[in-house]
Amino acid sequence: MQTLRLSDHGLAKILLQNVEKYYGVYGLGMIEQGFRVKYINDQTKIAIIRCLHRGQRFVSSILPLITLIGEVRAKFRTLYVGATIIQCNKFIVSHQKQFLDRAMGHLTSAKERQDLFKRVMELDMDR
C-alpha cells in the first residue's frame, strides 16, 4: 500500500484541476484569485486551504469527489471552515494536540516523543 505524500503546491494543483473538471472555467475563475494551500502536515494529514468567500463552496464540495491521486487512493474531508487563517490555525492546534495525545501512547522513548511533537506541531505559515 502506497502512502500519499503531498506538498502544498501538489495539493493546490490537484484541487484546481478537479474544480476545472467538475465546474469548468467558471468554477476555476471563482476560486483562482486568493486560492492557496497555506499549510500541510504529512504526519496528521491535515491542511489549511485559503480561498475567497465566493469560492469556498467550490473547494469544499470538490474535496469528497477526489478519490484517486495518481495510483494512490485518497479521501478528503472538510474538518473546519473558518473566516480567518488565525481561526483555522487555532482549530488545527487543538486538533493536532488530540492527535498527539493518541500517538504518544504508542511511543516508548522520550526522543521519539520529542521528534513526533516537533513534526506535528510545527506550523510553518510563512508560505
Packed helices 110-121 and 85-104: angle between N→C axes, nearest 10 degrees: 160
Q: What are the boundaries of each domain within the chain?
A: 8-121
Three-class secondary structure of residue 111 per DSSP: helix
Kindly indicate whether the domain formed by 8-121 is annotated with CATH number 3.30.70.3250: yes
Number of neighbouring beta carbons within 10 Å of residue 34: 11
pLDDT tens string 57-116 = 999 999 999 998 888 888 898 999 999 989 998 998 888 888 787 777 777 788 877 777
Confidence of residue 23 (pLDDT cuts 50, 70, 90): very high
pLDDT tens string 29-62 = 999 899 999 988 877 788 899 999 999 999 999 9
Given a cut of 70, is residue 1 above it in pLDDT?
Answer: no
Q: Within 1-127, where are the H helices? A: 8-32, 56-62, 85-104, 110-121
